[in-house]
Structure 1
Amino acid sequence: MARRTKNTSGRGQRDLKVRVKSARGRKLSSTRWLERQLNDPYVKRARDEGMRGRAAYKILELDDRFRFLVPGARVVDLGSAPGGWAQVAVERVNALGESPGKAQGRVLGIDLQEVEPLAGAEFHVLDFMADGADERLKAWLGGPADVVMSDMAAASCGHKQTDHLRIMALCE
């Protein structure tokens, strides 16, 4: 399926590069995505460190810089699958209460699909755009959220104007 070749780009990221030999019924775009995944240093790091996905490093970097995930915070993660951001939030807000002397936070993940359970986080299948969703979130959290994180993406259809309107609807 794949072969490893020396990385001669001079970037020094990795010694080997995985190339997918054949498409085997996949579209070219799928083959390219697979090759990027196989060579992505963050994908490898996430796998090695037990993170749910490479996106966890985005939120780690942002929180290291802006310090918004503080112990005791109530956090909502919109579009939470696969749960990488929630995984970081659980640790940073002390959702498990493992840091004595620090307030215990809450982490609530919302997605259209089910998310594998995570200790310290509560996941619900919910369309955030549905009527009454905000009230349900407040009830589940026990009050208003201190932090709202979102990695949601609108379903795209390939029609630029329609896709743009769907993205803007998420922003509202």
Structure 2
Amino acid sequence: MSDEAPPERRRMVRPPSGGTAAGRGLGQKLKTADKRSLSSQQWIKRQLADPYSERARAEGWRSRAAFKLSEIDDRLGLIRKGSRVIDLGAAPGGWTEVALKRGAAAVAGVDLLPIVPIPGAVLIEADFTAPGVDQQLIDALGGPPDLVLSDMAHNTIGHRKTDHMKIIALIEIA
């Protein structure tokens, strides 16, 4: 045996950062993964790792879609102060929040899904194609809308042509 001391181990100057959930490396583990389908698990993991979803959570928006409408409005100036706005397919309410924040005087939203109330907006849980819902929206605004927003999508079936036709049909009805 040698009397020499073992060479000193090199230490890292700084520990690895690993990034954030939106960056590389970390991600988040699903606590209820065993109760969900594989496709549902993958969707949730993408949402947790998405930088826009993370930013929306940090800034208090209901969804990442708020950034989509904000970008559109920055370019086109659609939402005018004092305007009346209808939001078709409003759940979870991100576009409704943006419209109110940007100065819309009245916002009425409709969706098949329930929407947590938003101060300053009238939210209706209904199919927008059902008889009378159009008049309910106009009445909630106090007159005809100045702008109709829609971020609707039907439940896809996986057949591209059929899904495309259903999306086009929703656009035409809107």
TM-score when normalising by structure 2: 0.76
Aligned to 1:98: none
Larger radius of gyration: 2
Does 1:163 pair with 2:166? no
Stretches of 4+ aligned residues off by more than 6 angstroms: none
Aligned twin of 1:42:
52
Counterpart-to-counterpart distance in 2, 1:27 and 1:82:
22
Residue 81 of structure 1 aligns with an amino acid whose one-letter code is: A
Separation in 1, partners of 2:28, 2:155: 30
Which piece of structure 1 moves more, 152-161 or 107-116? 152-161
Indicate the residue corresponding to 1:151 in structure 2: 151
Partner Cα separation in structure 2 for residue 120 and residue 140 of structure 1: 11
Task: State the match for 2:36 in structure 1.
Answer: 26
- Aligned residue pairs, count: 153
Aligned pair 1:60/2:74, yes or no? no
Q: Unaligned stretches of 5+ in structure 2?
A: 1-16
Give distance in 1, aligned partners of 2:30 and 2:151.
32
Structure 1 counterpart of 2:23, one-letter code: R
Which of 38-47 and 78-87 deviates more? 38-47
TM-score by structure 1 length? 0.77
Overall identity of the aligned pairs, in %: 47
Structure 1 residue runs without a partner (length 5+): 8-12, 95-104
Check whether the contact 1:20–1:31 (CA below 8 A) recurs between aligned residues: no
CA deviations 1:75-130 (Å, max 9, x no partner) are 01111111111111111125xxxxxxxxxx10111111221111111101121112
Q: Distance in 1 between matches of 2:122 and 2:30?
A: 41
- Quick check: 1:14 aligned with 2:35? no
